[in-house]
Amino acid sequence: MDAKKKKWEGYNRYLIQEASVGDLLEFPRILYSHWAVYIGNEEVVHLAGIDDDGLNGNFNPTHMFTISGKLFKKAVVKRESVWNVVLNSKVAINNKKDISLNPFPPTKIVKMATRMIGEIGYNALWRNCEHFAAFCRYGVAWSKQADAALMLFSIILAIAILAAVYKLSRRR
């Protein structure tokens, strides 16, 4: 067992014992967080890549905003042990969207998640693992990390446009 995994093992075991059916679990990775729906018995349902989405712990910068290194491709919703998903992460129960949205009853959350098992479409900004988890819990596909990425992209684009306009105005 590697040092990072061992570092969080006791904490993660305690947290999973404290998790309730229908909770959203967040697994921080290097540049993003992976999300899953806790369905009990140390199992989750989550949206994952069909091939290599980085869940195996191997960071690949070409996969940063993709599933399987491909944009706008397919992904799979699957049910599996939380321990296959946690890897080297410090897992967190993250139901913070409860502040803005009303969660469904736990049985409905689990039913929604398990009904979606199988291959589905994927898009990092509009249909990612956080969108999936939020949809199962609230009926609303909402990803704060996708919102933040879009905001950052918009700011960079605005700066680039302003720089180009400034450069053009200086030529006159």
**Helix or strand or coil: residue 99?**
helix
Which residues make Cβ contacts (< 8 Å) with residue 74, sequence separation at least 6? Answer: 50, 67, 119, 120, 121, 122
Residue type, 111: K
Strand partners, 93: 25
The answer to whether the CB of 29 falls within 8 A of the CB of 89 is: yes
How many residues belong to the chain? 172
DSSP element (H, E) containing 121: strand 118-121
Q: Catalytic residues, which ones? A: 34, 46, 129
